[in-house]
Amino acid sequence: MDGEEFQRALDEAQSWMGVRLGVIAVGQGEVDGRPAIDVWVTSPPPPDRFPQQLRGFPVVLRDSGGQIRAQGT
């Protein structure tokens, strides 16, 4: 799979995963030296809330440690 295919998968993931409650960020990650889609969440979601793969790329849930706030707020 090439970089364009991964970018399409990442764009798709950002368009719908990024607006889900509890999702802080969606970005590029890596699993076993291959591109993956990292989804940063405030708390572990139910297992069926996110796919394990998107367009053949692994989806990895990462714990953000809670809400992220800008300094000074």
Q: Would you say the pTM of this structure is higher than 0.85?
A: no
For the stretch 18-68, pLDDT in tens is: 788 889 999 999 999 999 999 999 988 887 889 999 999 999 999 988 666
Enumerate helices (H) and strands (E) in the chain, giving the number of each. Answer: 1, 4
Mean pLDDT over 10-15 rounds to 95
Pairing of strands 34-41, 53-54: unpaired
C-alpha closest to that of 43 among 61, 60, 30 = 61
Q: What is the pLDDT of residue 70?
A: 64
Pairing of strands 57-63, 34-41: parallel
Q: Is the pLDDT of residue 6 over 70?
A: yes
Q: Is the pLDDT of residue 1 over 80?
A: no
